[in-house]
Structure 1
Amino acid sequence: MNQVATQEFNQVPIQTLLPEIKQTLADNAQLILQAPTGAGKSTALPLAMLDWPEIQGKILMLEPRRIAARSVAHFIAARRGEGVGQSVGFRVRGESRVSDKTRLEVVTEGVLTRMIQQDPELSGYGLIIFDEIHERHLTTDLGLALALEVQASFREDLKILAMSATLDGLPLTALMPEAGSLVSEGRSFPVSLSYRPSTAHQDWLQHMARVIVEAVAEHREGSLLAFLPGQREITRLQTLLTERLDPKQFLITPLYGALPPAQQDSAIAPPPPGMRKLVLSTNVAESSLTIQDIRLVVDAGYKRQASFNPRTSVSRLSLKRISQSSAAQRSGRAGRLSEGHCIRLWPQQEHERLLKADEPEILHGDLTNAVLDAAFWGVNALDALPLISPPSEANETVAWELLQALALVDGGRRITAHGRAAYGLGCHPRLAHMLLAAKEMDSLGEAYYLPLAAVLAALLESRALARRGADISRYLNDARSGEVAKLALQYLTRMDAGRGNLIAKAISESRDQDIATLLALAFPDRIAKARGAKGYQLACGAGVALNDDDALQGEPWLVVADFQESAGQSSGRIRLATKLDAALFEGPLTSLVKSRVETGWDEEKARFYGLTQQRIGAIILNERPLDTLDEETIRQAIYRLIRNKGLSLLGFDDKVEQLRLRVALASKLALAGDWPDLSDQALLATLPVWLGPYLDGVRRLSQLKGLDFYTLLLNRMEWGLQQFLNEALPSHWPMKTGTRAAIRYEGCGRALLSVRLQEALGMAESPRLAQGQLVVTMELLSPAMRPLALTADLANFWAGPYVEVKKEMKGRYPKHLWPDDPANTLPTKLTKKKMSAKGL
């Protein structure tokens, strides 16, 4: 680091806050630090902490991105005049640079959660720092939750520091109410903004290339950082710019997570003398990274977000606008070292309509790894952990179901011995299950399946495969060297089978049926059967398709290891798969075949039917009709029919519907009693409970519809509760004239009593029901039973609106009573003539 850089580093704003941070950590077990861009929180702060005697033990710092973790570790180590792996080291997935001397470890990508799981006391560590917590990565949220559990259960002396560029929309204080709180100033130079949106019919990448060429021509000093949504766009833009810019003046470097570390380091490093650098990056460069000499930022304003689809158990990639918070972080990159300029490729008026901050990954991501972490920790629901935000309920349910299907947890969501072994492998639970199953298969013969499974797992975990179609067998040779080979060997080593020659042998001897067997164990829900000309149905029920020219096109069966869903497409696109011989269902895959009885109603033949089916999920292998239908089979057919058609099939009459409304109102008003839930949803979910006992002998729809549903539902309440319901919310109201006027209950909670106006004479107020909580709305009718008025305040009606009603009705119905003092007149059902004849 040169003298000028050293001076700037020593002047970062966090330096003035160091004494307060030290004191706050001495007084509190937790600290929340807000420190904007350029404050030095990721570098100067942990560097200073290494020399604080008040911190007992080593320091763990969590960075949400691998590239940032490596960069920060290298930067701090260089500042101390050391190499990485001495007092400062890092652990990221697939690479570790730590030693016995290491006192600051920068970790990422779930490394922290595994360290905690392996040693819940975190022996030897005194402080955990969570950097850039506002990015809301799932692994960060989970790591913080486990750290808080450790602090509360095992290590009261453990310190936790949560750092964020912004606290907007981040409920950290609610999660950590006793934490100290400090705010640092940022340090950034002014960044001017301009907006250059493309037109509606313009290729936005072509437009971005033109904007970049014009920008470097106008601003002749410094390098440029361009933000794009993904690798595909980066590669295309790199080609467009290479065609337009002099390679002797401009060095164009991509930057994204799947790049090898050496290329990532090259993108971050200063440009060669006399050249300007153009860094084309995904959002990995939003925070924690300082790329030398950047003075220009061109922001496409997009990100590619993976949203988990619980129906298919796959993440759907979609192009989305970034948030305002993300846009601010990106523009700030231009002002880290000097004044800069940012060009945004969207309309200025659209900026205020962007989301304020990014959604937490826990709301839309795949939670399979997270729930395995939870099970290993000993809880059976993510909300049992102190999380910043609650998870997606649907995504969590699917994740637990998958773990149970793979036998990693039992029916109570408790981790099994198989699950513990899978967790120890450090890969996706599907792949861990496949590796363990392969090892079990090898125990019965020559070692072959495990090294082949290790190759398949490494290929599926790799993010840098050169595309060669969907057939995964075409990629096996990638495991002979490089990243894939290294990862495959790691899996074998973790399973005490780490010999490289086994991998080469497995690749050479691999057979399609063995690949299919292993992948089917990992992805039983993605066994696929051909349907139509190009498509396939997955066992999970979803549809997928191959590219038109793919070599696997026409295969009757596949196992799909990877497919991609995109917004606006009805079928997912298969990325990796293998052909499957259906004979395997009678051999090594027989455990995946389930037998079940399918029941239903045949509309044409007007009768119930039953089938015995052999299935893999939604795929029917074969079926045959049942010779006879017993009572239970017919019951199941009736339940299925009602669930498909809805309760309308049963033809509930008005009496039944009124009973359901009365019971719902009693529950809503919290009247004393154990009120049953008679809603559509509840009744459909509990058909065997309330309907099942009355289905003996029912063989036809007419018999089903002829059941006394009023009595069936009424009997869900004990006799005393029925009586209380009739008292509190009666179906009729006795009028003084002897009429039992019906009360109609409505879904909005209103009780409506319709009666001739003359029968309501003398009533000072509307009746009150539900122990006085509910005032009945009176619908007063004409002698011809037509509505005249609607009121829940009879006293007010008699004193006011009645006068106008009397004027209009008296001439129309002269034979009926229209008194001047209705509140004090006796009610009647008679005409004036009949009243007179009776001496009334």
Structure 2
Amino acid sequence: MLKLPIDSYTPQILNAIKANPVTIIKAEPGAGKTTRIPLALLQDKASTIVLEPRRLAAKLSAEHVAELHGSTIGEDVGYQIRFDQKIGPRTKLRFMTEGLFLRLLESNPTLQGFTHIVLDEFHERHLDTDVALAFIRHLQENQRPDLKLLIMSATVDLSTLDNYLPESNSFEVPGRVYPVEIVYKPGAAKESTEQKVIAAVQDMIQRREYPGHILVFLSGRRPIQAAQAALQRVLAKQDFDVLPLMADLPPKQQKKAFQETGKRKIILATNVAETSLTIDGITGVIDTGLANISSYAPWSGLPMLQEAAVSQASCIQRTGRAGRTQQGICYRLFDENDFLKRDRFTPHEMSQSELSQLILFLKSRLAADADPATCLPWLSPPPEKHLESSSETLKRLSAIDQYGALTTKGQAISQIPLHPRLGAIILEGQSLQVFEEAILASCLISEGMILQRGSRAFEEGFCDLSFQSNTLLKWVKKQDLESIQLTHAIDSRKVDRVTRLYRSLQNNLGARPLESIKRINHRTLSQAVLAGFPDRVAKYRPAAKNKRNPSLRHFHFCLGRGGVLADSSVARKGEFLIVLDAHETPGRQHAAIKTQIRTASSVSLEQLFQVSPMLSTQVDVSMDDKSQKVLAFNRVYYGQFVIKEESREAEPDQITQILTETTLKNWPFPFDHDDDLKTYHRKLELMRDAGVEHSLPVFEGEMLELLIHAICEGQTRAEEIRQTSLRNFIYQQLSYEDQMLLDLNCPDKIELNGRQRTITYLGEHSPAISSRIQDFFGLQEGPKICGGRWPLTLVMLAPNQRPAQTTKDLAGFWSGSYAIVRKELARRYPKHQWPENPLEG
């Protein structure tokens, strides 16, 4: 057996494991931790579970350890992954994924029969990793103090773990023996990832000092398939094997990457090759710096993969794949600044995940009223914001009650190994006698629709789920499809994933075989789907025709915002939709068009009335813009939109409230202007400047609000308010004494030559009066207000009612420029009297 760096540390590590409840191993890539330590535990008679973050790593690691042990896989050494397992009664060393470990806890909550748990590649910090760690610690602190925990990683942050596990013993083990040269090759800005990869491979194969196989890290299936096709064309005349390596490849294809073929291999891999797996003979690594990172769909909350930049730790792991047998080289297809700006470690999923499935898991395993934030000894507690939003989802599913306690329905949902939304669909389907149809629909939602993305709708119908379910059933039953185009649009890989998941659930839930399902009716299915997505209902909103796309259908979402139905959706009939998948298109500025509804199922109004968590009834009172009358309605809301309304008479206090709110918001509504209020304030200003003492109110701020409340009190519509002048409303707020004081000092009118003239308090020359020039004949000086302390501006009008003179000094006008004005007026209006001495006029 080839000697690896960790072999010399193994005796010390085994002694530490026996002496301590927790042991931490930080071992560089190539040290051999994933295979040698579990093998040593097996040889030491331990009964061990090794948790791996990926299915392929779990399976291949188990097979390799079984080979080293000299036994057949499934005997002493076995594995358990989704859809596949090889274990037996003799199995003492079991490799499994973290998700299946949590399922194991359901049937074996104290892990009886197991002595050691190994968390491998801990630095990846999947959500299930953190949950597994917290549960193991909980067991160690309570029922299983004898249980041993071993944490292993190449790039783990030891300081964080040391603080969390003060009783642990740590080891740091060196890895690769040979140096690896790192070269940054970001390429041109306009180059695609595929072009950069091709150029990097062509360059690397010219480097004779690195003659081994080349491992290329890409983000997922599509980039790998594109790069594989391109490289096979470019290298057609050269002796290379271009091989993919992904988790969902058939086992035979996966093994090709590890087998010697006699040719130099270029292996195009996802991040499954980043850790645990060792491919012999690699001397060159090409790192795009990308991966499909586990995330969750913002719309549905279901798990998803999203392309993103990997952390520095992941880059280091990838580099470590080279240099196992001789010096190696790593091309990073990004610049060094990019690397230095990346997170040191991959952010733990707990910080960015939807947590409804975790909440149900904790409440069903620990206590119905368990607090997810404190019920386990977390390394990183679940974020409060995520717990709150996920709890709201569970309340809408009736999985927990208003106090957060697990309900009977929630307990049933927790037994179904899917997201709670999908569990709710299956339970509802069972009660509606469409059990198998609901399971199939849930499988489609979980694994993704079987038609290739970008395919245009093949019909105008009611439901994408029923259309794609019926298409899948025909495909499985080998029946003819409606068109050759539909046949070509089917993604056979997705069909395989959906059918495998269905058959797994069929066994767990006791359902009938997939082939027994007849044609699915969307009406019954939509009722079941609504049980899982009650908060994802949209209402059709007629909108102006889009000239570029006249068939565009706009929808309002029940929790706010909206979107348009994508061309790929067949759900083009019906006023209401259950939106199962929506996607925001970057670059679109209009939010309603930016959100594309990809997958939906129509639902009837009658069905919506059966979803009590989303229904609310209230009386809405508002001002009708046209009649300006206050109207009242009894309305039934589904989320934020109305699904039923009846008009009713508004109560007097409701009318007053709406009139007041509308007036406050739109002042000076309902008046055409607020000149009366400005005049009143101008009068107060003149009285102040003239030294007149008073306590008259200024109607600004809170005082204006009080005035508006008084104006609206007892009124029924805006028209009634306008029948009274704003001046009169102001005077109604003044005492009799204040009214008299105001009128005495700043009257609205003043007598001039036996006639009442209106005083203008607004404008450039205010306060002012205007009258014919003849009305001022015989006066030595003009009238004054504020007890004679404030002269009025006099606007003297010619016979044509236009100003002939404006002055505050009447005596000065008579003795001064009157003669010039008189001469001009006499010339223009000879029939009028224009005395030489105006004081005798």
Give me the TM-score of the superposition, normalised by structure 1: 0.69
Which residue does the alignment assign to 1:577? 600
Which residue does the alignment assign to 1:364? 352
Q: Which of 515, 526, 531 does residue 516 from structure 1 map onto?
A: 526
Matched, 1:172 2:171: no
Matched, 1:210 2:199: yes
1:258: Cα distance to partner? Answer: 3.7
Which residue does the alignment assign to 1:548? 567
Which residue does the alignment assign to 2:15? 23
Matched, 1:451 2:452: no
Between the aligned partners of 1:332 and 1:155, the Cα distance in structure 2 is 37
Which residue does the alignment assign to 1:223? 213
Aligned ranges 1:226-625 → 2 under 5 Å: 226-246=216-236, 249-267=239-257, 269-273=258-262, 275-305=263-293, 307-308=295-296, 313=301, 319-376=307-364, 377-378=366-367, 379-442=370-433, 449-462=434-447, 465-467=450-452, 471-476=464-469, 477-478=471-472, 480=476, 482-497=496-511, 499-500=512-513, 503-506=514-517, 508-531=518-541, 532=543, 533-548=552-567, 550-553=569-572, 556-565=575-584, 570=591, 571-582=594-605, 584-585=607-608, 589=610, 591=612, 594-597=615-618, 599=620, 602=623, 610-625=632-647
1:642: Cα distance to partner? Answer: 12
Q: 1:332 to 1:607 in 2, by over 3 A?
A: farther
Q: 1:474 to 1:347 in 2, by over 3 A?
A: same
1:565: Cα distance to partner? Answer: 4.2
Deviation per CA, 1:540-564, whole angstroms, max 9, x where unpaired? 3243444335544566433222334
Secondary structure at the aligned position of 2:198 is classed as helix
Which residue does the alignment assign to 2:72? 83
The residue type paired with residue 184 of structure 2 is Y
Q: 1:199 to 1:122 in 2, by over 3 A?
A: same
Deviation per CA, 1:563-606, whole angstroms, max 9, x where unpaired? 344655543444433344445446xx554661321647649688
Deviation per CA, 1:459-487, whole angstroms, max 9, x where unpaired? 22226945155723343243638442332
The residue type paired with residue 515 of structure 2 is A
Between the aligned partners of 2:383 and 2:663, the Cα distance in structure 1 is 31
Larger Cα-atom Rg: 2
1:631: Cα distance to partner? Answer: 6.7
Tell me if the contact between 1:601 and 1:641 (Cα under 8 Å) persists in the aligned partners.
Answer: no
Tell me if the contact between 1:310 and 1:395 (Cα under 8 Å) persists in the aligned partners.
Answer: no
1:539: Cα distance to partner? Answer: 2.6
Tell me if the contact between 1:366 and 1:395 (Cα under 8 Å) persists in the aligned partners.
Answer: yes
The residue type paired with residue 493 of structure 1 is N
Secondary structure at the aligned position of 2:33 is classed as coil
The residue type paired with residue 615 of structure 2 is K
Deviation per CA, 1:59-86, whole angstroms, max 9, x where unpaired? 1111111111111111111112222211
1:630: Cα distance to partner? Answer: 8.1
Between the aligned partners of 1:73 and 1:42, the Cα distance in structure 2 is 10
Tell me if the contact between 2:394 and 2:400 (Cα under 8 Å) persists in the aligned partners.
Answer: yes
Between the aligned partners of 1:637 and 1:252, the Cα distance in structure 2 is 75
Which residue does the alignment assign to 1:96? 85
Which residue does the alignment assign to 1:41? 33
Tell me if the contact between 1:316 and 1:564 (Cα under 8 Å) persists in the aligned partners.
Answer: no
Q: 1:154 to 1:538 in 2, by over 3 A?
A: same
Which residue does the alignment assign to 2:812? none
Structure 1 segments unaligned to the other structure (5+ residues): 1-5, 443-448, 644-694, 704-840
Structure 2 segments unaligned to the other structure (5+ residues): 458-463, 478-495, 544-551, 666-704, 714-841
Between the aligned partners of 2:304 and 2:711, the Cα distance in structure 1 is 43
The residue type paired with residue 617 of structure 1 is G
- After the TM superposition, which of the residue ranges 531-540 and 388-397 deviates more from structure 2? 531-540
Between the aligned partners of 1:172 and 1:338, the Cα distance in structure 2 is 33
Tell me if the contact between 2:74 and 2:87 (Cα under 8 Å) persists in the aligned partners.
Answer: yes
Tell me if the contact between 1:317 and 1:567 (Cα under 8 Å) persists in the aligned partners.
Answer: no
1:88: Cα distance to partner? Answer: 0.9
Tell me if the contact between 1:524 and 1:539 (Cα under 8 Å) persists in the aligned partners.
Answer: no
1:324: Cα distance to partner? Answer: 1.5
Secondary structure at the aligned position of 1:525 is classed as coil
Tell me if the contact between 1:230 and 1:303 (Cα under 8 Å) persists in the aligned partners.
Answer: yes
The residue type paired with residue 34 of structure 1 is K
Deviation per CA, 1:672-702, whole angstroms, max 9, x where unpaired? xxxxxxxxxxxxxxxxxxxxxxx9xx97898
Between the aligned partners of 2:662 and 2:425, the Cα distance in structure 1 is 35
1:494: Cα distance to partner? Answer: 2.3
Aligned ranges 1:689-728 → 2 under 5 Å: none
Tell me if the contact between 2:356 and 2:420 (Cα under 8 Å) persists in the aligned partners.
Answer: yes
1:394: Cα distance to partner? Answer: 2.0
Identity of aligned residues (%): 29
Q: 1:596 to 1:436 in 2, by over 3 A?
A: same
Tell me if the contact between 1:47 and 1:76 (Cα under 8 Å) persists in the aligned partners.
Answer: yes
Secondary structure at the aligned position of 1:382 is classed as coil
The residue type paired with residue 500 of structure 2 is K
Secondary structure at the aligned position of 1:325 is classed as helix
Between the aligned partners of 2:415 and 2:655, the Cα distance in structure 1 is 45
- Computed over aligned residues only, the root mean square deviation of the Cα atoms, in angstroms, reads 3.6
Q: 1:250 to 1:566 in 2, by over 3 A?
A: farther
Secondary structure at the aligned position of 1:148 is classed as helix
Secondary structure at the aligned position of 2:540 is classed as strand
1:119: Cα distance to partner? Answer: 2.1
Deviation per CA, 1:297-345, whole angstroms, max 9, x where unpaired? 1111123445557687467876433221111111111223432111111
Between the aligned partners of 1:140 and 1:585, the Cα distance in structure 2 is 39
Which residue does the alignment assign to 1:730? none
Deviation per CA, 1:255-289, whole angstroms, max 9, x where unpaired? 3334344433334x22422x222222222221111
Deviation per CA, 1:115-152, whole angstroms, max 9, x where unpaired? 22332221101011111111111100011101111111
Secondary structure at the aligned position of 1:298 is classed as strand
Q: 1:88 to 1:554 in 2, by over 3 A?
A: same
Aligned ranges 1:193-204 → 2 under 5 Å: 193-204=182-193
The residue type paired with residue 431 of structure 1 is L
Give me the TM-score of the superposition, normalised by structure 2: 0.69
Tell me if the contact between 1:304 and 1:320 (Cα under 8 Å) persists in the aligned partners.
Answer: yes
Tell me if the contact between 2:52 and 2:96 (Cα under 8 Å) persists in the aligned partners.
Answer: yes
Matched, 1:13 2:44: no
Which residue does the alignment assign to 2:53? 64
Tell me if the contact between 2:275 and 2:317 (Cα under 8 Å) persists in the aligned partners.
Answer: yes
Secondary structure at the aligned position of 1:455 is classed as helix
